[in-house]
Amino acid sequence: MTTMTDRLTAFVMKSFGGARDYVYVDPQHIKDARTWLSILQKKDGCFTSVGKLFHNSMKGGVSDDVSLTAYIVAAMLELDGVASDPVVQSGLKCLTDAVTGGFDNLYTTALMSYTFSLAGDQEMRSKLITILDQKAKKDGGTIYWERVGSTDQGLDSVEVEMTSYVLLALLISPPIKGFSLDYTSGIVRWLAQQQNPFGGFSSTQDTVVALQALAKYAAATYSPQGTTTVTVTSLGGVRKEFTVTQSNRLLYQEEKLREVSGEYTIRARGQSCVLAQISMYYNIPPPEDFSAFIITKSVKANCTLSRPQLQLDVAVRYHGRRAETNMVIINIKLLSGYLLDQSSLQLLRDDRSVKRVDVDQEFIDIYLDGLKKNLSQTYKVTLEEDQRVRNLKPAVIKVYDYYQPTGQAVTDYTSPCAEST
């Protein structure tokens, strides 16, 4: 999530509301959450922020209170759909005043288009959708919205999220003239191209909104009939066939393609909507100076112990365009045969700049609230050899912005003890 206390509370409130038809949810929890959010509303109808907005790419051009108000009001409307509620009406007035005052924040415009669509304000809805259409990127049959200052380094979570909000707004009845399912199919085509092989997108937050929008589109275009056969062939003689029927349409089907590199042809025959995706993984050396982060490491070793130990110092620094990053993750891959010393783990967790530390058999993930520009931070971990490994390969260390993971900095390390043997 984003996450400020108020946004997280609004998200949990509407999630509980959606879940109560399927599992028991104490209605008092929902009521208490809504009451607490209502207390945050100011006289002008806007909601005041509580906590820290980690996802700072949403900032700029408009008061954060306006974006927050649009989010909370949308959550309340998703919960019960009562636009006449005094808190909702006051929040909508705050948003209307912001539109009247003029602003150029594309993320907030997309979010407000969804909020006013939920509220049934067709005049404001049409106005915002028209503004968004004028700023849309239309390329090769796809439609999406681009964040100001975005780069071509990879998937941008803010772009996925605001594009998904526009799709949600357009799928609410009644339809807006000139924005039929043909228009929304262009948005869906772009979103499908951004989806990774595991079904997610760039971050947790954009995945939640994108899947909600795609599910709503699937419901709008659903047909109880139709079967499609997808055939994948290659010049080398590969032939794979997938059949999608009404009984298995929610079943994920996968086959490995053995010919790499190879030229494949995908053909679909039938009368239903299916998604076909090809994924290939490979490693390349990271180009120099491609990241807004700088990462360095140093290794001190005690190879004389019966279980050799390494002290790994990882220094990270942000030198990008912003004053401060979003939440940052330092991902350290453990060397084969090495374990993290538990006292070292406790020291990490006691560090005030560390939000959280996750450890599994292969990785250490260190979560930071953020990094201020040009301020270096160093984190120390102690690794202990558990099993001797021949031909030990270096392990990779990455640092990246949680909401913009493509701009990562990478280095690697190895054990001097292994080199000496």
Q: Which residue, chain included where needed, has tokens 């700029």?
A: 60
Residue 56 has pLDDT above 60, yes or no: no
253 alpha carbon, distance to own chain's centre: 24
Q: Which residues contact 154 (CB under 8 A, 6 or more apart)?
A: 405, 406, 407
Q: What pLDDT, on a 0 to 100 scale, did the predictor assign at position 53?
A: 59
Identify the residue with better confidence: 335 or 324: 335
270-326 pLDDT per residue, tens: 988 888 888 887 766 655 656 789 999 999 999 999 899 999 999 999 988 778 888
Q: Which residue, chain included where needed, has tokens 């509407």?
A: 14
- Burial (Cβ within 10 Å: 0-12, 13-18, ≥19) of residue 399: buried
Residue 59 has pLDDT above 50, yes or no: no
Answer positive or negative: Cα dihedral of 177, 180, 183, 184: positive
From the list 182, 136, 126, the residue with the least C-alpha distance to 162 is 136
Residue 405 has pLDDT above 80, yes or no: no
- Two tokens, residue 31: 């009521």
Residue 52 confidence class, pLDDT cut points 50, 70, 90: low
**CA 208, CA 157: separation in Å to the nearest integer?**
11
% of the chain residues with pLDDT over 90: 65
Radius of gyration of the chain from Cα atoms? 25
Residue 154 confidence class, pLDDT cut points 50, 70, 90: low
97-116 pLDDT per residue, tens: 999 988 778 999 999 999 99
Residue 208 confidence class, pLDDT cut points 50, 70, 90: very high
Q: What pLDDT, on a 0 to 100 scale, did the predictor assign at position 309?
A: 92
**CA 70, CA 92: separation in Å to the nearest integer?**
8
**CA 67, CA 46: separation in Å to the nearest integer?**
9
Q: Which amino acid is at 177?
A: K
Model-level pTM? 0.74
Q: What is the mean pLDDT of residues 64-80?
A: 93
SS3 letters across 13-57: HHHHHHHCCCCCCCHHHHHHHHHHHHHCECCCCCECCCCCCCCHH
Q: Which residue, chain included where needed, has tokens 């209502």?
A: 38
The helix (H) or strand (E) run that includes residue 180 is none
From the list 342, 337, 329, 332, the residue with the least C-alpha distance to 363 is 332
- CB neighbours of residue 280 within 10 Å: 8
Ramachandran assignment for 336, one of left (phi > 0), alpha (psi -120 to 50 degrees), beta (any other):
beta
Q: What is the mean pLDDT of residues 231-253?
A: 92
Complete DSSP assignment for 186-230: HHHHHHHHH--TTS--SSHHHHHHHHHHHHHHHHHT--S---EEE
**CA 304, CA 289: separation in Å to the nearest integer?**
38
Q: What pLDDT, on a 0 to 100 scale, did the predictor assign at position 61?
A: 34
Identify the residue with better confidence: 2 or 226: 226
Q: Which amino acid is at 391?
A: N
- Burial (Cβ within 10 Å: 0-12, 13-18, ≥19) of residue 46: buried
Phi, psi for residue 333 in degrees, rounded to 5: -85, 130
| Cβ proximity of 127 and 140 under 8 Å | no
Distance between start and end Cα atoms, the chain: 47
Residue 182 has pLDDT above 50, yes or no: yes
